[in-house]
A and B are shown apart, each in its own frame.
Chain A
Amino acid sequence: MVSIGYNSLLVLCGALVLGALCGLVGSFIYLRKNTLISDATSHATLPGIGIGFLVAFALGWEQGRHLPTLLAGAALTGALAAFTIGWMQRNTRLNNDVAVGAVLSVFYGAGIVLLSIIQRLENASQAALDSFLLGQIAGISIGDIYLILILCAVTIICTLLLLKELTLLCFDEEFAHTTGMSVSKVDIALICLMLGVVCVGLRMVGLILILALLIIPPVTARLWTDKLSNMLWLSSAIGGLCALTGAYLSASIEHLPAGAAIVLCAAALFFPSALFRRHAA
């Protein structure tokens, strides 16, 4: 048996918790039929990562690779994108998919431009920014893992506190409104949770494929159960298992991006489930 050091164990633990979080929050994204906005939001974190890098670089923090600053930047532009989509839906006559498509491509394009500018900076360790696209396990620091674990814990606690409200929002928004629940606040809370998950997952899974980890575990879980509580557990377990396996593979095989490995693990569970459980969901 291969012995695993404390650091590697911590990284795998981080992947497990992150995957479980994705499965939990992703369940509500799926039930709210809100996957498109999640895709736009995750892609829209790229310019924020660039801005965060430039800020950290200017301040001389870890040659720009200061994870808290990068994630703060990511959260900022991700939130801006989600807000812009909401605004376009309310104030223009554009269809939802048009609004999402426009915002996703504009923000992502801006991010790519920023990255190309960063590549011309001297002494900047811009290579590390590529890992935010597809995720990377190698080179992740212990400090980063602690940050990821803490953010995961906060997001999980918030989601569990809002379980009842999120369920009602997803099932019957109009009824929720008539009982006095602030539908818009709970909706924003769900967007914030999604944004939190996306940001936490950037380093390990990457912004391009994080959506898959938000969607595939709940869809797979839904195929096996009709009960929400079971679906939440199962989705979290599937997410955790896929992230753990994918992270292990990425750490063991050189140049294998973690995000891609994780998504393939999820697909390996999804397709047989879809085949065997065709009548369900």
Chain B
Amino acid sequence: MADVILKVRSLSKSYDGKPAVDDISFDVYKNEIFGILGPNGAGKTTTLEMIETMRSIDKGKIVIAGLDVATQPQEVKRIIGVQPQSPAFQDKQKLFEIIEMFAAAYGERTNVQTFLDEVQLGEKANSYAEQLSGGQRQRLSIAAALVHSPKVFFLDEPTTGLDPQARRNLWDLVRMVRDRGVTVILTTHYLDEAELLCNRVAIMDDGKIIALDTPRNLIKQLLSRGFKKTQRVEQANLDDVFIDLTGKALRD
């Protein structure tokens, strides 16, 4: 298959003797959307933070685009973009200044307006960050994470707390980022999100990866084991009803 951009080998991390991530290994391919699924406390965020250089590695090795995360964190930071769980910005800071600031953090001068236009915030360039809605803040945050044209883009539970319209918009943005040649790695506990968005998913529980494949294959494997849903599958669900009634247009 395609080139491997992220290699994780026997990665472990424990807090006070309790293993949070327990000897996991996986590869992420270039230009895919890779999802890490799991219940709360499964070790998704810890795994992500170790890859992002934000947390020290107890055991194992992480290599992104040929760079060792443990020994070359500064170089790794230059090729990754990170979207935090709940993006926040300093008050009294205009949108275009925030983009300018993030670009400057990478030592780059960038064209602010194009980045804001891409996430439909071009008209708000002169507004303050505190005037934005939750969805707008998410979009601004994505724009800020892309200013240095990263190779890998991380999102930690990006759609938690967003309304259905904003969620769909964020999915579109994630796909747009992928279409620009960026590899996307995200964590989520929304299964529909993973199924719709991700090329492949890893399911974590208790610090271990218990399954890793495309969503379709995982479902196939389950069905081949003789699984049957007790309820008849509907042709639509409540989500579809909601979107049909309220429209897809973004509400800010």
Q: Do A and B come from one complex?
A: no
Chain A residues engaging chain B, CB cutoff 8 angstroms: none
Chain B residues engaging chain A, CB cutoff 8 angstroms: none
